[in-house]
């Protein structure tokens, strides 16, 4: 479906030549109120057009310069859906590397399953593209570190698609205010943050648990299953392994914890001012041993930083339930509850005398200014590491000590095998 496309610069040049000859210029080329000239459009290619991927495909409206210039998927039905959503001036591809070769594409939106995130993101950075990536940032800690390093090395802009840091996600509508409250010291230290079912957090543990009784089935004709697997181990096809329910298998993702974790944990890491570090102690309450292929259940996870700040995650789907009515954030001098009620009352009223945290750039503004956005690669690596650390504690079944500088577990080589996992040739990072 690939076709030759004229660059935006040549388009503008030719439009200007036509204007000189005929005194007629399409309105959108001139820009102005309600119109964006092609030279100002941040174009995109979308890799992965399944359920979440379609939300990244911007419709190309008649009379305006196109935004989505390419879509890519290894499932022909998904690809057709992406092309239909984009409409005119969009090309379809089955191999993401062809999309990266296009010089007229500014940004790559990575909406593949997580086992592809690092490979595609690094290749996009090498190709000179800025990257908007779906959560989780990466499937493993080592893959995340490699992706963050590539973004920095090639001078690219990256943002992970989580909204809580910007105050636009359920339960975190007051992220900036909570960060300011923590910075003020009015709550004291250390702090405990509870992300529990009793506080309205839905971890989707049962929803994205894997199945252990899969019987191999023929691969559908519309799916390039070998390319879908990519860097993941070769396993017999079953529909439950792909397309959304892939979240239930360790080879591709990490269950509901990986699906929802960065949404919930990225704003908390921001509130606690922990964007440059990770917890040093991780403990999980979960059935053990965990299945080596299928993601299973868990009950409670505790992650503790070296200054004593502690995160408590509770699924509400296994083990004892967390009592209702406990605070969302608690320190020795104050508490904040789910409805932003404080104890003592009026803590938020005192914040006017304290400075605001630095503003956060969104992705498009970061692309235009060449500054890193709020959910950039380095902070995304740290918030995603919370998810990976929790899942490694679940899988090993024991309390773990972690070195945030080396990004390795202390004295536990079995756990470190889950930090950096091999990829199926020829794929690598």
pLDDT, mean of residues 372-400? 97
Report CA-CA distances (Å) from 62 to 56, 274, 393.
19, 45, 52
Rounded to a whole number of angstroms, the distance between the first and last alpha carbons of the chain is: 29
Q: How many CB atoms lie within 10 A of CB 371?
A: 11
**Confidence bin at 33 (pLDDT 50/70/90):** low
Sequence-distant (6+) residues with CB within 8 A of 176 are: 167, 356, 357
pLDDT of residue 171: 66
Q: For helices 141-153 and 117-126, give the axis angle rounded to 10 degrees.
A: 10
CA distance 210 to 206: 9
CA distance 250 to 97: 25
Q: Which of 22-26, 319-323, 363-367 has the lowest mean pLDDT?
A: 22-26
pLDDT of residue 320: 86
Q: Which of 74-83, 117-126, 190-199, 411-420 has the lowest mean pLDDT?
A: 190-199
Sequence-distant (6+) residues with CB within 8 A of 290 are: 296, 394, 395, 397
pLDDT of residue 34: 56
**Confidence bin at 198 (pLDDT 50/70/90):** confident
Q: Is the pLDDT of residue 47 over 50?
A: yes
Share above pLDDT 70 across residues of the chain, in percent, rounded to a whole number:
91
pLDDT of residue 31: 47
**Confidence bin at 338 (pLDDT 50/70/90):** confident
pLDDT of residue 365: 95
**Confidence bin at 25 (pLDDT 50/70/90):** very low
Q: Is the pLDDT of residue 36 over 90?
A: no
> For residue range 204-235, what is the model confidence (pLDDT) as tens digits?
999 999 999 999 999 999 999 999 999 999 99
CA distance 332 to 189: 6
**Confidence bin at 7 (pLDDT 50/70/90):** very low
Alpha-carbon 194 to chain mean position: 21
> For residue range 135-148, what is the model confidence (pLDDT) as tens digits?
999 999 999 999 99
> For residue range 271-300, what is the model confidence (pLDDT) as tens digits?
999 999 999 999 999 999 999 999 999 999
Joined together, the tokens standing for residue 199 give 């506080």
CA distance 236 to 294: 14
pLDDT of residue 254: 98
pLDDT, mean of residues 329-349? 95
Q: What is the 3-state secondary structure (H, E, C) of the chain?
A: CCCCCCCHHHHHHHHHHHHHHHCCCCHHHHCCCCCCCHHHCCCEEEECCCCCHHHHCCCCCCCCCCCEEEEECCEHHHHHHHHHHHCCCCEEECCHHHHHCCCCCCEEEECCCHHHHHHHHHHHHHCCCEEEECCCCCCCHHHHHHHHHHHHHCCCCEEECCCHHHCCCCCCCCHHHHHHHHHHCCCCCCCEEEEEHHHCCCCCCCCCCCCCCCCCCCCCCCECHHHHHCCCCCCCCCHHHCCCHHHHECCCCCHHHHHHHHHHHHHHHHHCCCCCCCCCEEEEECCCCCCCCECCCCCEEEEECCCCCEEEEECCCCCCCCCCCCCCEECCCCEECCCCCEECCCCHHHHHHCCCCCCCCCHHHHHHHCCCCCCCHHHHHHHHHHHHHHHHHHHHCCCEEEECCCCEECCCHHHHCCCCCCCCCCCCC
Q: Is the pLDDT of residue 203 over 50?
A: yes
Residue 336 bridge partners (DSSP): 329, 342
Answer whether 294's CB lies under 8 Å from 212's CB.
yes
pLDDT of residue 29: 47
pLDDT, mean of residues 233-247? 97
Sequence-distant (6+) residues with CB within 8 A of 119 are: 230, 231, 423, 427, 428, 429
CA distance 291 to 310: 28
pLDDT of residue 170: 57
CA distance 89 to 59: 10
Q: Is the pLDDT of residue 24 over 50?
A: no
Domains within the chain, CATH numbers bracketed:
8-162 (3.40.50.720), 166-360+375-416 (3.30.360.10)
> For residue range 74-116, what is the model confidence (pLDDT) as tens digits?
999 999 999 999 999 999 999 999 999 999 999 999 999 999 9
pLDDT of residue 37: 80
How confident is the prediction for the chain on average, in pLDDT?
A: 92
pLDDT, mean of residues 381-390? 98
């Amino acid at each position: 479906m690939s076709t030759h496309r004229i660059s935006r610069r040549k388009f503008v040049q030719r439009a200007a030549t036509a204007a000189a000859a005929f005194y007629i210029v399409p309105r959108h080329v001139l820009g102005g109120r309600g119109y964006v000239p092609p030279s100002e459009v941040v174009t995109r290619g979308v890799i992965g057009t399944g359920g979440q991927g379609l939300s990244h495909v911007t419709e190309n409206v008649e009379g305006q310069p196109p935004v989505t210039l390419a879509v890519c998927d290894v499932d022909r039905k998904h690809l057709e859906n992406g092309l239909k959503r984009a409409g005119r001036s969009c090309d379809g591809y089955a191999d993401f590397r062809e999309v990266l070769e296009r010089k007229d594409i500014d940004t790559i939106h990575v909406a593949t399953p997580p086992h592809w995130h690092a490979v595609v993101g690094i290749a996009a950075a090498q190709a000179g593209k800025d990257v908007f990536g779906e959560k989780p940032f990466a499937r493993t800690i080592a893959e995340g570190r490699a992706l963050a390093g590539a973004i920095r090395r090639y001078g690219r802009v990256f943002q992970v698609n989580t909204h809580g840091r910007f105050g636009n996600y359920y339960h975190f509508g007051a992220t900036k205010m909570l960060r300011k409250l923590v910075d003020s010291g009015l709550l004291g230290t250390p702090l405990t943050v509870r992300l529990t079912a009793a506080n309205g957090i839905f971890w989707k543990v049962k929803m994205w648990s894997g199945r252990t009784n899969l019987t191999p089935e023929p691969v559908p004709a519309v799916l390039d299953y070998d390319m879908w697997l990519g860097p993941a181990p070769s396993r017999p096809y079953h529909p439950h392994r792909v397309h959304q329910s892939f979240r239930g298998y360790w080879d591709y993702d990490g269950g509901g914890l990986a699906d929802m974790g960065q949404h919930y944990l990225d704003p908390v890491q921001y509130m606690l001012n922990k964007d440059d570090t990770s917890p040093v102690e991780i403990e999980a309450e979960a059935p053990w041993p965990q299945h080596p292929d299928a993601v299973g259940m868990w009950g409670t996870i505790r992650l503790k930083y070296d200054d004593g700040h502690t995160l408590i995650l509770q699924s509400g789907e296994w083990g004892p339930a967390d009592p209702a009515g406990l605070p969302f954030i608690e320190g020795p001098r104050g508490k904040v509850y789910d409805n932003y009620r404080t104890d003592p009352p009026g803590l938020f009223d005192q914040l006017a005398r304290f400075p605001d945290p630095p503003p956060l750039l969104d992705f498009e503004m970061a692309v235009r200014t060449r500054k890193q956005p709020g959910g950039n690669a380095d902070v995304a690596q740290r918030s995603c590491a919370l998810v990976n650390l929790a899942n490694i504690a679940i899988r090993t079944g024991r309390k773990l000590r972690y070195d945030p500088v080396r990004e390795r577990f202390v004295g536990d080589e079995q756990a470190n095998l889950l930090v950096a996992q091999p990829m199926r040739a020829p794929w690598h990072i």
